[in-house]
Amino acid sequence: MTAHTTPATAPATGDAELLHGFEACTLPVAAFGHREHVRVAWLLLRAHPRFEDAAHRFCSGLRAFAAAHGKSTLYHETITWAYLALVHERLRATPACDSFDAFAAEHPDLLSPGLGALSPYYDAAQLHSPAARQAFLLPRAHAR
């Protein structure tokens, strides 16, 4: 998951179509905003019983997607892993949400702009650091 990007401008796609376009790197960049990042993470976390399997598939796919679109420098390790962990945690807490729209309605902070759901755990300076982009950083104890 990259830093928040412009919202998608393409028409909504089905889950299978979105996932296929993401993994085949054929989805237009304009159709892969923050909401779609979270949705693909949700889809993969639901499909894989083990967090590490879903996380590996998502991170590999996101790096490939960014590279295929000439945007390799946008990949952000800390934001990606932190959002994956939050989506996983929320998915486990609300297993009755059987659609992404229901999940998103239950957890709107995951789609908030700016630091969004990460603001209780990270401050802006830490997330915007080169170190956070290159390696996963644990949250600082003093984040609000």
Burial 60-72 (b: 16+ CB within 10 A, else e): ebbeebbeeeeee
Q: Give the rounded percent of residues in the chain with a pLDDT score beyond 70.
A: 89
Do the domain assignments include residue 65? yes
| pLDDT at residue 1 tops 80 | no
Measure the CA–CA gap between 113 and 6, rounded to whole angstroms: 10
Measure the CA–CA gap between 39 and 79, rounded to whole angstroms: 15
CB atoms within 10 A of CB 101: 11
What are 3-22's pLDDT values in tens digits?
444 344 444 579 999 999 99
Give the pLDDT confidence score for residue 140 in this predicted structure. 82
Do the domain assignments include residue 9? no
Do the domain assignments include residue 102? yes
Do the domain assignments include residue 3? no
Do the domain assignments include residue 8? no
Confidence of residue 84 (pLDDT cuts 50, 70, 90): very high
Do the domain assignments include residue 7? no
Do the domain assignments include residue 121? yes
Q: What is the mean pLDDT of the chain?
A: 90
| pLDDT at residue 2 tops 70 | no
Do the domain assignments include residue 144? no
Domain that holds residue 70: 15-134
Confidence of residue 89 (pLDDT cuts 50, 70, 90): very high
Q: How many domains does the chain have?
A: 1
| pLDDT at residue 48 tops 60 | yes
User: What integer is the mean pLDDT of 111-118?
Assistant: 90
